[in-house]
Amino acid sequence: MASNGGMVLVIKAPRGTHDILPSEMEKWHYVEEVARKVASDYGYKEIRTPIFEHTELFSRGIGDTTDIVEKEMYTFKDKGGRSITLRPEGTASIVRAIGEHKLYGKGKLQKLFMIGPMFRYERPQSGRYRQFWQLDFEAIGSSDPYLDVEIIALSVEIFSRLGLKGLSVELNSVGCPKCRPKYKELLKDYLRPYFDDLCESCQSRFDRNVLRILDCKNEGCRRITESAPRMVDYLCEECSWHFEEVKKGLNSLGIPYKINHRLVRGLDYYTKTAYEVISGELGAQNAVCGGGRYDGLSEDIGGPSIPGVGFAAGVERIVLTMEQQEVAFPRSRGMEYFVVVLDSRYKEFAARVVYELRHRGIYADMDYFGRSLKAQMRYADTMGARKVVFVGQEEVDSGMAKVKDMQTGEQVEVEWGKIGNE
């Protein structure tokens, strides 16, 4: 181990990353299991794309002037001199894969989901990490507004099946390349007289990414943008129709939502629908999920024109919200049999019993520390074993196992090969 002036350097996980320990893992499995079930009810199939991609995919897809591309990407040169980036999100990769494998075409709809880690060099805080996991759902191939409704409904369904309460859907339209440029100019005209009062980062956003000024958290900026022109009032006919249809669809499904004129999202590929699901429990990082439509993304990355809509939800934030709301996670599988070795000469026999039980799909275990009978019983108890099986000379010689029910204390004898039928 490395040492430094007599001090031992303890190697920890890199800042912003975290281990998901076995005790946490059960919660994660549960969240994933529910998401997979909802995916299958909605007809979404799993896809897995590489964890790293050519840097260009993200700079062109997410947008050169976004925080993600400007400041947050883990980018490096590989040994062949290519610029590689650890994926900061999944949408660009999935859209790339659809184009690359020609999974598109008239009347073809790809409904896909992906579960995996994403990487962003952000300032770590509660609910914000440098490596975090997303449940990512994408419906690619149609521009029907009812697909936007399906995506929003799907995300809400996952959260409601998980038992999350008090979440709110915030909705906006960010227009399209036809109507957005005009709106951006209007917004700039409105903001120009206040330029000196904007915070430093908003001043730099003014020319590069003026829409992001709308979601700045700074009090002063918020006061200025309070009465700024709103995108929804300047949508072109098509975007305006689309927005109305999405609202109509959500209304008819009874999914409550709030229009949030400040919602612009941190990725540039969005067109028309943009939405987030917000949890009151999460503090500053309050979005459990975000998404929207991205009809120009495939072309932006050099592919064919394919419309799409999707969302991604942060698994850490879901688990955090569930913990804060004290939502119950299902209990893990308990041990069924603990095989107690009464005499170390019969350890080999005990190992065979455990092996056979496991082979039959029964969760069984034994002692590996040469513990006393009492200590083995205590251990079986802490492991929540339902039954213990005793292995000693008498049991081996007679061919009959003694099986004790840990709850009732009742003990029965059963032939060795028939444990599980007692």
Identify whether the C-beta of residue 69 lies closer than 8 Å to the C-beta of residue 76: no
> E strands of 260-385, at which residues?
271-279, 287-293, 308-314, 337-341, 364-366
Smallest distance from the beta carbon of 124 to ligand HAM, in angstroms?
A: 8
Tokens (6 digits) for 129 = 């990490």
Least separation in angstroms between residue 269's CB and ligand HAM is: 8
Nearer to ligand HAM, 72 or 336 (CB): 72
Q: What is the closest distance, in whole angstroms, from the C-beta atom of residue 118 to ligand HAM in the complex?
A: 7
- Please identify, using beta-carbon distances, which residue of 249 and 314 lies nearer to ligand HAM: 314
Site for ligand HAM in 391-420 (CB under 6 A): none
Pattern 129-168, binding to ligand HAM, x per CB under 6 A? Answer: x--x-x-x-x------------------------------
Min dist CB 177 to ligand HAM, Å, is 17
Which of 26, 67, 122, 343 is in the footprint of ligand HAM by CB under 6 A?
Answer: 122
CA-CA-CA-CA torsion sign (153, 154, 155, 158): positive
Q: The sheet that has 83-86: what strands, in order across it?
A: 52-54, 83-86, 75-77
CB of 126 to ligand HAM, least distance (A): 10
Residue 34 is a binding residue for ligand HAM (CB under 6 A): no
Amino acid in position 47: I
Instruction: Tell me which of 99, 175, 249, 290 binds ligand HAM, using CB under 6 A.
Output: 290
For ligand HAM, the closer of residues 272 and 402 by Cβ is 272
Assigned token pair, 88:
């900061």
Closer to ligand HAM by Cβ: residue 90 or 141: 90
Cα–Cα dist 301/92, whole Å: 8
- Asked whether the beta carbons of 260 and 171 are under 8 A apart, the reply is yes
Stretch that binds ligand HAM, among 178-186, 205-213, 286-294, 383-391 (CB under 6 A): 286-294
Least Cα distance to 158 among 135, 139, 138, 140 occurs for 135
Cβ(377)–Cβ(367) under 8 Å?
no
| Contacts (CB under 6 A) with ligand HAM, residues 69-108 | 89-91
Distance of CA 299 to the CA centre of its chain: 26
Binding mask 243-272 for ligand HAM (x = CB under 6 A): -----------------------xx-----
Give the C-alpha separation, 14 to 209, whole Å.
Answer: 31
Tokens encoding 163: 């038992």
**Do the strands 387-391 and 337-341 form a parallel or antiparallel pair, or are they unpaired?**
parallel
Minimum distance from residue 276 beta carbon to ligand HAM (Å): 6
Interacting residue with ligand HAM among 86, 112, 153, 287 (CB under 6 A): 287
In the beta sheet, which residues pair with residue 115? Answer: 135
Does residue 53 belong to the site contacting ligand HAM (CB under 6 A)? no
**Three-state DSSP class for 18?**
coil
Q: Tell me the CA distances in angstroms from 218 to 221, 222, 263, 265, 267, one per residue in order.
A: 5, 6, 15, 17, 20
The interface with ligand HAM within residues 301-320 (CB under 6 A) comprises 310-314, 316-317
How far is residue 27's CA from residue 325's CA, in Å, rounded to a whole number? 14
Dihedral of the CA atoms 133, 276, 209, 294 (nearest 10)? Answer: 80
Residue closer to ligand HAM by CB (options 134, 298) is 134
Q: Which is nearer to ligand HAM, 273 or 376 (by Cβ)?
A: 273
Q: How many residues sit in the footprint of ligand HAM (CB under 6 A)?
A: 28
Angle between helices 315-324 and 22-42 (to 10 degrees): 110
289 binds ligand HAM (CB under 6 A): yes
Nearest distance from C-beta of residue 15 to ligand HAM, angstroms: 12
Residue number with CB closer to ligand HAM (34 or 287): 287
State the residue for tokens 């004790």: 404
Within 13 A of 117's CA, how many CA atoms are on the CB side? 14
Minimal distance in Å, beta carbon 356 to ligand HAM?
Answer: 45
CB-wise, 316 or 336, nearer to ligand HAM? 316
Q: Is 291 in the site for ligand HAM (CB under 6 A)?
A: yes
Span near ligand HAM by CB under 6 A; candidates 124-132, 341-349, 366-374, 396-404: 124-132
Residue with tokens 């995916």: 39
Identity of residue 248: K
Which residues contact ligand HAM (rule: CB under 6 A)?
89-91, 120, 122, 127-129, 132, 134, 136, 138, 266-267, 287-292, 294, 310-314, 316-317
